[in-house]
Amino acid sequence: MLLAVDIGNSNVVLGIFQGEELLTSWRFETDRGRMADEWWALLTTLAAGDGIDLRAIEGAVIASGVPQLATTFQDLITQRLGREPIQVSAALDLGIRVRTDNPLEVGADRLANAVAAHHRGPGAWVVVDFGTATTLDVVSPEGDYLGGAIAPGVLIALEALTARAARLHAVDLAMPERAIGRNTRQAIQSGTVLGYLGLIEGLLARVAAELGETPNVIATGGLAGLFIGHSPAIPAYDPNLTLTGLRLIYEHLTRGE
């Protein structure tokens, strides 16, 4: 079995693979102060509940945007599982080429998403990841990671708006029924949620124009469910895309696949 760890600024997601099958996954709120033993206690409890024997884990791979927790999980996996995890970065042979000005500054989760998308089928791909940040990552048909776009996440934008505007209060993050809000709550939802949908659609149109072709598009991330089904520009959704990319990277590095 393989342990895949995706450490983001808002959530830590762990997945257990048996071959290509994702047996189970667990999502935690990112807590930079939680020690390795505390993570281990959570992991063993959830594994026992799902019938997972952690002693059967043969390898581990980590994508981290939080350096402190990357070290924590490195220590946890080394000491508790007796395995040396792979820390994903552009310095490794990922099976795709990173064609940016500074490959080492590209986030490991974005690289994993790009690998997973490229393996889904031929043609150019764009991954839209709705997380703490909203990111677009572009992969050419030849398997070149070309770069992308980073915008503040929709939840961050909403929180910033309501925190800095005295007469605007917090509202539920939900897709509104119409663009013309008839009260403050509806207006905030329209401007935030539909506004972000327009941002994504506009960026996708510009990416297609720069590529000279219409790319395949897939969404992932904890907030993607809010947008799926509301725009033909985002036809596909895979909540486990990053974990799948981590598995593919691990297999490429250890088995030459």
Catalytic annotation, pick one of 6, 31, 109, 238: 109
Please say if 172 is a catalytic residue. Answer: no
* Edge-to-edge order in the sheet of strand 133-139: 97-98, 144-152, 133-139, 125-130, 216-220, 236-237
Q: Which residues contact 210 (CB under 8 A, 6 or more apart)?
A: none
| Burial class of residue 80 in the structure, from the number of CB atoms within 10 Å of its CB (0-12 exposed, 13-18 middle, 19+ buried) | middle
CA distance 189 to 176: 6
- Tokens read off for 216: 């395949």
CB 103 within 8 A of CB 124: no
Residues designated catalytic: 109
